[in-house]
A and B are shown apart, each in its own frame.
Chain A
Amino acid sequence: QQQVKQSPQSLIVQKGGISIINCAYENTAFDYFPWYQQFPGKGPALLIAIRPDVSEKKEGRFTISFNKSAKQFSLHIMDSQPGDSATYFCAASADSNYQLIWGAGTKLIIKP
């Protein structure tokens, strides 16, 4: 029940296209859902996060869509650029312990 399942494992998108990464969770106590971006040789960096009281959050080209009833959330990257090539992690946590449970990651490659 603590797992966060992330798909796909890898993704290749043409420059200018939309990249979509999906995550699913089981624990209904989760109330914080961040996405992290990790470049080779670096640690993960917070990209965008959402709470379950909203269904969508947008920051620039990055959008989180959240479906509480389906217990799913996804990251959409609009107008994908080669600089977006990185590994993306979804995570989930409950405010009761602030401990993040991480998805396995998606390696995104944007082809120029």
Chain B
Amino acid sequence: KAGVTQTPRYLIKTRGQQVTLSCSPISGHRSVSWYQQTPGQGLQFLFEYFSETQRNKGNFPGRFSGRQFSNSRSEMNVSTLELGDSALYLCASSLEQGQYGYTFGSGTRLTVV
């Protein structure tokens, strides 16, 4: 059974650009959550999607957005990149919304220069 797949694994972007990250959940999982991980800050919740609808949102600016497709795959977009957006972006999937059984992907390492 394939795990959570995140692409690309590494990304280097220039300040001011925009970026799109992709997440394919475990087959059958319908809920996808996104987290930002930075050294010393732990994981910060970005948003959760279920049935193509955003169900929960963390405390991030509107430059961070996402969407979920009918096959449960999800994308996350960050516009007008800032140096502080450099981080590991993690996607986690679970069977249903409102469950603790998250499985994380290996993340996308974004570096903004």
Which A residues are within 8 Å of any B CB, using their own CB? 6, 9, 32, 34, 41-46, 49, 89, 91, 93, 97-100, 102-105
| A89-B42 contact, Cβ under 8 Å, with A43-B105, A43-B107 | yes
Count contacts between A and B, CB distance < 8 Å: 47
Tell me the minimal C-beta distance from A96 to chain B in angstroms: 10
Asked whether B100 lies within 8 Å of A9 as measured between CB atoms, the reply is no
Most A CB contacts (10 A, CB to CB) among B98, B102, B107 go to: B102
Tell me the minimal C-beta distance from A92 to chain B in angstroms: 12
- Report the separation of the CA atoms of residues A105 and B48 in the bound assembly, to the nearest whole angstrom: 22
Is chain A's interface secondary structure helix, strand, loop, or mixed overall?
loop
- Report the separation of the CA atoms of residues A9 and B106 in the bound assembly, to the nearest whole angstrom: 22
Which B residues are within 8 Å of any A CB, using their own CB? 4, 40-45, 48, 56, 90, 92, 97-107
- Report the separation of the CA atoms of residues A89 and B39 in the bound assembly, to the nearest whole angstrom: 12
Asked whether B42 lies within 8 Å of A49 as measured between CB atoms, the reply is no
Tell me the minimal C-beta distance from B28 to chain A in angstroms: 18
Tell me the minimal C-beta distance from A59 to chain B in angstroms: 16
Asked whether B107 lies within 8 Å of A102 as measured between CB atoms, the reply is no
Asked whether A46 lies within 8 Å of B41 as measured between CB atoms, the reply is no
- Report the separation of the CA atoms of residues A53 and B56 in the bound assembly, to the nearest whole angstrom: 27
- Report the separation of the CA atoms of residues A49 and B101 in the bound assembly, to the nearest whole angstrom: 11
Tell me the minimal C-beta distance from B13 to chain A in angstroms: 20
Asked whether B100 lies within 8 Å of A34 as measured between CB atoms, the reply is yes
| A43-B42 contact, Cβ under 8 Å, with A32-B100, A34-B100, A97-B56 | no
Asked whether B42 lies within 8 Å of A103 as measured between CB atoms, the reply is yes
- Which residues from chain A contact B97 at a C-beta distance below 8 Å? 98
